Structure 1
Protein backbone atom coordinates (compact mmCIF):
# COMPACT_ATOMS: atom_id res chain seq x y z
CA UNK A 1 0.00 0.00 0.00
CA UNK A 2 2.87 2.37 0.71
CA UNK A 3 4.16 1.73 -2.80
CA UNK A 4 0.89 2.96 -4.33
CA UNK A 5 0.95 6.08 -2.17
CA UNK A 6 4.55 6.81 -3.08
CA UNK A 7 3.86 6.10 -6.76
CA UNK A 8 0.86 8.46 -6.69
CA UNK A 9 2.93 11.18 -5.05
CA UNK A 10 5.71 10.86 -7.63
CA UNK A 11 3.16 10.86 -10.46
CA UNK A 12 1.51 14.02 -9.08
CA UNK A 13 4.91 15.73 -8.79
CA UNK A 14 5.82 14.78 -12.37
CA UNK A 15 2.52 16.08 -13.72
CA UNK A 16 2.87 19.30 -11.71
CA UNK A 17 6.43 19.76 -12.94
CA UNK A 18 5.41 19.27 -16.56
CA UNK A 19 2.59 21.77 -16.25
CA UNK A 20 4.89 24.31 -14.59
CA UNK A 21 7.54 23.83 -17.27
CA UNK A 22 4.94 24.27 -20.00
CA UNK A 23 3.66 27.47 -18.39
CA UNK A 24 7.15 28.92 -18.05
CA UNK A 25 8.30 28.07 -21.56
CA UNK A 26 5.18 29.33 -23.34
CA UNK A 27 5.01 32.60 -21.42
CA UNK A 28 4.87 35.61 -23.69
CA UNK A 29 5.84 39.13 -22.84
CA UNK A 30 3.02 40.37 -20.64
CA UNK A 31 1.05 43.35 -21.86
CA UNK A 32 0.91 46.06 -19.27
CA UNK A 33 -2.63 46.57 -18.05
CA UNK A 34 -4.32 49.71 -19.14
CA UNK A 35 -4.33 52.35 -16.44
CA UNK A 36 -7.24 54.79 -16.56
CA UNK A 37 -5.98 58.18 -17.61
CA UNK A 38 -2.73 56.86 -19.06
CA UNK A 39 -2.07 57.65 -22.66
CA UNK A 40 -0.83 54.94 -24.98
CA UNK A 41 2.22 55.68 -27.12
CA UNK A 42 1.46 56.85 -30.62
CA UNK A 43 1.80 54.28 -33.42
CA UNK A 44 5.43 54.03 -34.44
CA UNK A 45 6.58 55.68 -31.23
CA UNK A 46 8.71 53.61 -28.87
CA UNK A 47 7.02 52.83 -25.56
CA UNK A 48 8.37 54.63 -22.51
CA UNK A 49 11.00 52.87 -20.48
CA UNK A 50 10.13 51.01 -17.31
CA UNK A 51 11.30 53.77 -15.00
CA UNK A 52 9.09 56.37 -16.70
CA UNK A 53 6.10 54.04 -16.68
CA UNK A 54 6.66 53.28 -13.01
CA UNK A 55 6.82 56.97 -12.14
CA UNK A 56 3.65 57.66 -14.11
CA UNK A 57 1.76 54.88 -12.33
CA UNK A 58 3.05 56.04 -8.94
CA UNK A 59 1.91 59.59 -9.66
CA UNK A 60 -1.50 58.40 -10.82
CA UNK A 61 -1.94 56.31 -7.67
CA UNK A 62 -0.87 59.26 -5.51
CA UNK A 63 -3.30 61.56 -7.30
CA UNK A 64 -6.13 59.05 -6.92
CA UNK A 65 -5.42 58.61 -3.20
CA UNK A 66 -5.26 62.36 -2.68
CA UNK A 67 -8.58 62.81 -4.49
CA UNK A 68 -10.17 60.05 -2.42
CA UNK A 69 -8.85 61.59 0.80
CA UNK A 70 -10.25 65.00 -0.17
CA UNK A 71 -13.66 63.50 -0.84
CA UNK A 72 -13.69 61.68 2.51
CA UNK A 73 -12.72 64.59 4.78
CA UNK A 74 -15.08 64.85 7.72
CA UNK A 75 -15.66 67.99 9.78
CA UNK A 76 -14.17 67.99 13.27
CA UNK A 77 -16.67 67.51 16.08
CA UNK A 78 -14.58 69.41 18.63
Structure 2
Protein backbone atom coordinates (compact mmCIF):
# COMPACT_ATOMS: atom_id res chain seq x y z
CA UNK A 1 0.00 0.00 0.00
CA UNK A 2 1.36 3.37 -0.96
CA UNK A 3 0.44 6.37 1.15
CA UNK A 4 0.96 10.05 0.45
CA UNK A 5 4.16 9.89 2.47
CA UNK A 6 5.52 7.16 0.20
CA UNK A 7 5.04 8.53 -3.30
CA UNK A 8 8.42 10.30 -3.36
CA UNK A 9 11.94 9.75 -2.14
CA UNK A 10 13.26 11.32 1.03
CA UNK A 11 15.10 14.23 -0.58
CA UNK A 12 12.95 14.95 -3.63
CA UNK A 13 9.36 15.63 -4.52
CA UNK A 14 7.41 13.37 -6.83
CA UNK A 15 6.57 15.22 -10.09
CA UNK A 16 2.92 15.17 -8.99
CA UNK A 17 3.74 16.87 -5.68
CA UNK A 18 5.75 19.52 -7.53
CA UNK A 19 2.90 20.02 -10.01
CA UNK A 20 0.40 20.54 -7.17
CA UNK A 21 2.70 23.24 -5.79
CA UNK A 22 3.34 24.82 -9.20
CA UNK A 23 -0.37 24.92 -10.09
CA UNK A 24 -1.50 26.10 -6.62
CA UNK A 25 -3.75 23.05 -6.36
CA UNK A 26 -3.79 23.24 -2.55
CA UNK A 27 -6.18 25.56 -0.81
CA UNK A 28 -7.59 24.47 2.54
CA UNK A 29 -5.96 21.01 2.48
CA UNK A 30 -9.19 19.11 3.19
CA UNK A 31 -8.96 16.98 0.04
CA UNK A 32 -5.22 17.10 -0.61
CA UNK A 33 -4.29 13.56 0.41
CA UNK A 34 -7.18 12.01 -1.49
CA UNK A 35 -6.64 14.14 -4.58
CA UNK A 36 -2.91 13.43 -4.57
CA UNK A 37 -3.35 9.66 -4.24
CA UNK A 38 -6.08 9.53 -6.88
CA UNK A 39 -3.88 11.55 -9.21
CA UNK A 40 -0.91 9.26 -8.53
CA UNK A 41 -3.06 6.25 -9.45
CA UNK A 42 -4.37 8.05 -12.54
CA UNK A 43 -0.80 8.43 -13.81
CA UNK A 44 -0.56 4.63 -14.04
CA UNK A 45 -4.09 3.80 -15.20
CA UNK A 46 -5.81 4.35 -18.54
CA UNK A 47 -7.45 7.76 -18.59
CA UNK A 48 -8.11 10.04 -21.53
CA UNK A 49 -5.67 12.84 -22.22
CA UNK A 50 -8.05 15.80 -22.17
CA UNK A 51 -9.18 17.78 -19.12
CA UNK A 52 -12.70 16.32 -19.19
CA UNK A 53 -11.30 12.79 -18.96
CA UNK A 54 -9.08 13.78 -16.04
CA UNK A 55 -12.07 15.33 -14.25
CA UNK A 56 -14.02 12.10 -14.77
CA UNK A 57 -11.15 9.95 -13.52
CA UNK A 58 -10.79 12.18 -10.44
CA UNK A 59 -14.53 12.50 -9.80
CA UNK A 60 -14.49 10.37 -6.64
CA UNK A 61 -12.86 13.18 -4.64
CA UNK A 62 -14.68 16.24 -3.42
CA UNK A 63 -12.87 19.55 -3.06
CA UNK A 64 -14.68 21.88 -0.68
CA UNK A 65 -12.81 24.91 -2.05
CA UNK A 66 -13.55 24.20 -5.69
CA UNK A 67 -9.89 24.06 -6.77
CA UNK A 68 -10.73 21.55 -9.50
CA UNK A 69 -9.26 23.63 -12.32
CA UNK A 70 -5.90 23.84 -10.56
CA UNK A 71 -5.98 20.14 -9.66
CA UNK A 72 -6.61 19.16 -13.28
CA UNK A 73 -3.79 21.47 -14.38
CA UNK A 74 -1.48 19.80 -11.84
CA UNK A 75 -2.39 16.33 -13.11
CA UNK A 76 -1.77 17.40 -16.70
CA UNK A 77 1.61 18.91 -15.74
CA UNK A 78 2.62 15.74 -13.87
CA UNK A 79 1.63 13.55 -16.83
CA UNK A 80 4.28 15.31 -18.90
CA UNK A 81 6.95 14.60 -16.28
CA UNK A 82 6.23 10.95 -15.50
Q: TM-score, normalised by structure 1?
A: 0.25
Choose 1 or 2 for highest CA Rg.
1
Structure with a larger share of its residues in helix: 1
Q: Which has the higher contact order (CA 8 A, sep 6+)?
A: 2
TM-score (norm 2): 0.25
